[in-house]
Amino acid sequence: MDFNEEQLERYARHILLPEVGGVGQSKLLNAKVLVVGAGGLGAPVLLYLAAAGVGTIGIIDDDVVDLSNLQRQIIHSTQTIDVAKVESAKESLLSINPALNINLYQERLNTGNINSIISQYDIVADGTDNFATRFLINDACYFAKKTLVSAAILRFDGQLSTYKAHLEGEDKPCYRCIFREPPPPGQVPTCSEAGVLGAICGTMGSLQATEILKEIMGIGQSMSGTLMIYDALHSEFRNVKVKRDKGCPLCGENPTITDLSVHNQ
């Protein structure tokens, strides 16, 4: 595509990169990414996708901004307390890049709406804070053949991976290959119960945004098949190779999950 003068100046540092150039930047401008959750992880993801020029960004979150969010959810401000998070996020994104196309969904993902929403996007970014939604997103992305970039944080730890089990011939794992099913209620605390260092969200969200941009442009090495684990207290990153589980109930050889009805039980 031909860039106008404003775009050439705005994206100059991208275009200078041989791995990106005009072709890569054009892919970003034409890309469509859905970010699930405008919270601790979604905040940095959304900000960097907007700054990078991802042309269409969907934001889904049914919550409103609370004072306790501001310790880590840097897309929001004191002025937007009690405002819907999707609206607050949109305001911040357009202040960075007014040329964006932003779609808002002030609702919670469920089996009734997830297919119609994710069908409009190329890549889904999971920044949710509960297992039920994480498994729903994974299963829906697998059936819809959508790339999923998922991150998680708790206390001083984070993890990140990309899931492309839907690609034929790749033999890559899905989320269920690593985590077979949600843990029993109450077994794993949430951030609101156990706490989280705010800056961890920035670390993992920035890494998540980087992987999304790489997937859009088709550059570098995909994290599909690799689980990154971050320990902030010891300043350590560890990459664990993960293979597809042949016994996975979703993407294995004899799947028992063939649609999203399992999430209605």
pLDDT tens per residue across span 156-203 = 999 999 999 998 778 899 999 999 988 887 777 777 788 999 999 999
Torsion over CA: 35, 41, 43, 47 (sign): negative
217 closest CA partner among 64, 20, 33: 20
Phi, psi of 58 (to 5 degrees): -100, 140
| Locus of tokens 């005009």 | 22
* Radius of gyration for the alpha carbons in the chain, expressed in angstroms and rounded: 18
pLDDT at residue 92 in the model: 98
Least confident of 16-20, 84-88, 117-121, 183-187: 183-187
pLDDT tens per residue across span 223-247 = 999 999 999 999 999 999 999 999 9
Residue ranges of domains in the chain, CATH in brackets: 18-264 (3.40.50.720)
pLDDT at residue 191 in the model: 79
DSSP state of 138: H
Looking at the predicted structure, is the pLDDT value of residue 72 above 90? yes
Pull the structure tokens for residue 163: 């899931």
> How would you classify the pairing of strands 157-163 and 147-154?
antiparallel
Burial 127-156, CB ≥16 within 10 A → b, else e: bbbebebbbbbbbbbbbbebbbbbbbbbee
Q: How many CA atoms lie within 13 A of 106 on its CB side?
A: 11
- Band the pLDDT of 118: cuts 50, 70, 90: very high
Is there a contact between 212 and 35 (Cβ–Cβ < 8 Å)? Answer: no
pLDDT tens per residue across span 31-67 = 999 999 999 999 999 999 999 999 999 999 999 999 9
Predicted TM-score (pTM) above 0.75: yes
CA distance 244 to 256: 16
- 3-state class (DSSP) for residue 104: strand
Q: Which of 77 and 193 is assigned the larger pLDDT? A: 77
